[in-house]
Chain A
Amino acid sequence: MKNVILPNNREELWKTWETFPEAVPMAGGTDLLVGLRENKRKARTIIGLEKIRELCQVSLQDGEILIGAMVTHQQLLDTPAVAAHLPGLHGAAAVVGSPAVRHMGTIGGNICSASPAGDTLPPLYTLGARLELLNPAGSRVVPLHEFILGPGRTALHQREILSRVRIRIPAPGTRSYYFKVGQRKALAISIASMAALLQLAPDRSVMEARFAWGSVGPTVMRFPELEKTLTGRTFSPDLLNELGKAAAARVAPISDIRGHANYRRILVANLPLRLSAALAQEGVTKRDE
């Protein structure tokens, strides 16, 4: 039998962890409990974080959106500031699992599971998200791309939790998107995905462009040197084609039950083109351009 303890605040959390040093923290449980049942994970004591209220809130402060680690995907969908300022993240939250999974699964769990296929990760990479980590001695802030070390591996220390995700609100006029290819639309782990963050000048030249691909390497992959080559150039399908091809040459996909590595590379090359369609639909560009 496993012990399951749900502390009400951080003081109780650290006390519990001191008593059970090997305890495993649990967010929504949609990943951990499946892993435990399949004996892929071990835990003698589970510390559920769901009752720690400070972890369950979204707030705005000094131009940043602060998202508590225990905020569920559904809460993200229901938060107007997320919909307004972070449409890419909002779009990713909308395609996680199923409604019930979105009611249980949390942004903190999605991050700490560190799956290359985690849906909220590519948008968070493009947003330059920073993570507040909490431990009994205090706290520290780590950029997301330094926090995730590999599949299932993070920079979390023993007895440390992710408490908040900090996202600087993008400049007005910034567009952000998330595109996902799965075997079906619901309850699908992505075969490949891409988040984009784009700021265009009135003449449609690229002021800033950031792209992050999911499920095509050990972590989410972003290529700042490629992004730089886009700056100042006119946004066009040709430009996206060029970007897709260059990215496809750089990603490191594997073949697994969901898709072949070659197929994933093709997706990486093609996903940027969805941006063309999205912008045409928004009337920013014409469809035949």
Chain B
Amino acid sequence: MKITFYLNNVKQEIETQPDRRVVDILREDLGLTGTKEGCGSGECGACTILADGVSKLSCLMLAAQLENRRILTIEGLASGEELHPLQKAFVEKGAIQCGFCTPGMIMAAADLLQRNPAPDRKDIRTALSGNLCRCTGYQKIIDAVESAAETMRNKA
């Protein structure tokens, strides 16, 4: 089937099977390998994307559900060469080790900061509770989100 949607603010028209998973379309058909697949069953958060501004799991979405939606992946977060404050903070705070969970973490954090520009550490933990990281022990990730939130508040 033919599907039209917006991917990282660019209109896309793709021809694909209606039951193809969105994570596969992104990674295999469109070459955007930032979005990761961990468990494939909604338990790890590695495939988190924003659909119409809301965090969703791309391993549990089908092609047909993309029609007319605005999809944002980790590749669309930076403005040109300028990294998003969340990306910068993850680098600066040492919140990345192997990096596999990072895109999902950042997209989940982006969802949080949209809803709540001034989250406390408990809010951040709750917001990231669906994203597994096996390297960092989470503290530096929480530091990074806290720091990015502050940067974004100061800019606004």
Contacts and interface: CB of A to CB of B under 8 A. Distances in A.
A162 B63 CA distance: 25
B60 A98 contact: no
A18 B127 CA distance: 42
Contacts of A187: 43, 129-130
Given A100-B108, A103-B56, A6 B65 contact: yes
B40 interface: yes
Contacts of B42: 30, 34, 97-98, 100-101
A99 B67 contact: no
A186 B129 contact: yes
Interface in B1-54: 17-19, 40-43, 45, 48, 54
B154 interface: no
A103 B115 CA distance: 13
B61 interface: yes
Contacts of A157: none
A34 B60 CA distance: 8
Residue picked from B60, B62, B112, most chain A C-beta under 10 Å: B60
Contacts of B127: 99
Contacts of A38: 41
A233 interface: no
B141 to A, nearest CB: 14
A50 interface: yes
B55 A100 contact: yes
A196 B152 CA distance: 42
A100 B57 contact: yes
B53 to A, nearest CB: 10
**Interface size for chain A: under 10, 10 to 19, 20 to 34, or 35 or more residues?**
20 to 34
Given A37-B41, A185-B129, A187-B129, A99 B108 contact: yes
Nearest to B58: A100
A29 B62 contact: yes
B130 A97 contact: yes
Contacts of B65: 4, 6, 29, 48, 50
A27 B33 CA distance: 28
B19 A29 contact: no
Contacts of B77: none
Interface of B: 17-19, 40-43, 45, 48, 54-57, 60-65, 67, 108, 111-112, 126-127, 129-131
Interface of A: 1-6, 29-30, 33-34, 37-38, 46, 48, 50, 74, 97-101, 103-104, 185-187
24 contacts: A1-B18, A1-B19, A2-B19, A4-B19, A4-B64, A5-B64, A33-B62, A34-B41, A37-B40, A50-B65, A97-B42, A97-B130, A98-B130, A99-B108, A99-B112, A99-B127, A99-B130, A100-B48, A100-B130, A101-B57, A103-B55, A104-B57, A185-B129, A187-B130
